[in-house]
Structure 1
């Protein structure tokens, strides 16, 4: 009685085996055809092709190593700083016995360190030629491979750009009437450069500064501004209205990212098969990673305002929520239905943390605006 059933499954598995074999043959046919063509060519043709293939293997090896290796990643990196609480404001003289020095800015310090982390401690992935080339012409962000670190770096870069703009427009000048600091202006212009520029281009003049080069210029300019503050020749306006505006810009930036997460959740619920979920997740993660340090530095630079307006308690909640969000490091990012127990929605969880951080920033703004 079982013979017909056994025969059915045997035929089914044979058919599946033949189908898989046919699919593999179709996929390998171009490579087999090229191999046959290559074997019948002379060394004048074979040698350049061999060198080109060798360069591609080396290039892809370096790209994969750079895109997969995260150097000096540490979600607790703000703890390494000796942030000042209740001391002199940036640009003001420090305690006696310090040789006539003034207080540098913690915001500028953390921002420059984030640039150093992105382009010196790690390879800047978005401008690598093989990152720009994609997978057979398909952008890596539309694949589940090798785009997580690039998205993380771009999230950090978004925060650096926002911070340099605020330093130029408000924080690095007195009441908006003093002259714009040239070092801060140079940093902002350098950070506004294309995020994926390589040193060679197909348009005249065919050679250009790469993105890492320009960001290193921004790093030097920020360090030069902090040196001005330390030598008591720079200006930093640590007023409550400047803090309110800075928090307002951060709130808007985070709110925009929350909307991006929402749009991706509405566009797809394919769980682990959603190839855009990972870069959306890691871009947001990079933003929160950077803002965790920037907001800790902001509390130091505006310590008098934090104490006078009694927003320490709200800030502590914000810090806890930021750090809790950085505990999310799933091996595979899933964008499934929110009620699913097999393929959860990591985007929904990250969006929840983003909204909690945003609500606390709004509360701090409201306290400062009273």
Structure 2
């Protein structure tokens, strides 16, 4: 009886071993054939093929490096937008106190009065664009990202798409902000003409996120996405330079802040719905290959709005103080900063009541809803 059991397990393991051997041989067969074919070729062809293969290795090495290295990432980056004090953006700076003793002093005083405060909101927007396309490579328009994994979209795999999704989330916050800058914040009650620099920046940031140097529809060479975004950052900085010279407008009124906050709340609300849909209908835990891009898009959006809203607090300082919004705005910033502490190594989309695999989408979604709730409260106060 014991011998029969031993023979059974022996035959079983031998069969498994033969099966594994056949599987390995099947996988290696194309490479063995290529190796034999390569060794039988001439020297010139070998050199050309070697250079081609080396180029592929270098390209993929650069791609893997850029997708894993996040230059300039700092959850506390928004602190720089609260260091300046004074009146709201766009208002004239108060000249230095002193006694005017000559015509020259009077001219200097007149010049000082014409100096206005730049907008930290515009600075934050330009800095986020710079972070996306200058400090880091813009992943979504890279050739190897567009090719995918053997033709499969990287977003549908668990590999190398986290940074791209994060960048698109930041870009979503930037796009929304430039729209509001053009429509309301950079105009006087919506009756003045649209600022040309802000209009140019908005148009550039609305450009497709995945355009490379060459495309098929339409066929021919193209200007890649990062070039448009770099142009937008330059236009935003030009606007702020003109604003400092009092040659542009930043209308820091309560109704403009109300509309800006309301649009951000709606934008974040849409992201919350995306997280909820994925969390409720797909509970594959660590094996949900689309959970990571949903998570990092929402994370990037919160990352972008953290700096933008921190800067808006300075630009609308008088409105926030007059409407007694300080406590609510403090809570908003605390929720935004707390959400940025959620940075799991592997994103899991398990059941919310599960005990083995966590639900990172539900966790981040909680903070998204908290931020939106704070924004709605601020809006209600401004609407009174």
**TM-score above 0.5, yes or no:** yes
Structure-to-structure mapping, 1:87-126, within 5 angstroms: 87-97=86-96, 99-100=112-113, 101-126=115-140
Instruction: State how far apart, in whole Å, the 1-side matches of 2:76 and 2:119 are.
Output: 20
Instruction: State how far apart, in whole Å, the 2-side matches of 1:38 and 1:318 are.
Output: 63
Give the Å deviation of 1:362: 0.8
| Per-residue CA distance 1:257-284 (angstroms, 9 max, x = gap) | 1111112123311111111111111111
Instruction: State how far apart, in whole Å, the 1-side matches of 2:17 and 2:336 are.
Output: 51
Structure-to-structure mapping, 1:280-319, within 5 angstroms: 280-319=294-333
Give the Å deviation of 1:204: 5.3
Verify the 8 A CA contact 1:93 1:102 in the aligned structure 2: yes
> Partner residue of 2:371?
357
Instruction: State how far apart, in whole Å, the 1-side matches of 2:206 and 2:241 are.
Output: 23
> Partner residue of 2:158?
144
Structure-to-structure mapping, 1:18-57, within 5 angstroms: 18-57=18-57
Q: Point out where structure 2 has 5 or more consecutive residues left out of the alignment.
A: 97-110
TM-score of the aligned structures, taking structure 1 as reference length: 0.95
Give the Å deviation of 1:44: 4.3
Give the Å deviation of 1:233: 1.0
Verify the 8 A CA contact 2:82 2:314 in the aligned structure 1: no
* SS class of match (1:176): coil
- Structure showing greater radius of gyration is 2
| Shift in CA distance, 7/359, structure 1 to aligned 2, threshold 3 Å | farther
Give the Å deviation of 1:21: 2.9
Instruction: State how far apart, in whole Å, the 1-side matches of 2:66 and 2:233 are.
Output: 22
> Partner residue of 1:78?
78
Verify the 8 A CA contact 1:127 1:195 in the aligned structure 2: yes
Give the Å deviation of 1:12: 4.0
Give the Å deviation of 1:221: 0.3
Structure-to-structure mapping, 1:234-313, within 5 angstroms: 234-313=248-327
Give the Å deviation of 1:355: 0.6
> Partner residue of 1:206?
220
Q: How many residues are treated as equivalent by the alignment?
A: 369
| Shift in CA distance, 48/96, structure 1 to aligned 2, threshold 3 Å | same
> Partner residue of 1:128?
142
TM-score of the aligned structures, taking structure 2 as reference length: 0.92
Instruction: State how far apart, in whole Å, the 2-side matches of 1:181 and 1:37 are.
Output: 64
Instruction: State how far apart, in whole Å, the 2-side matches of 1:57 and 1:149 are.
Output: 21
Give the Å deviation of 1:37: 2.3
> Partner residue of 1:172?
186
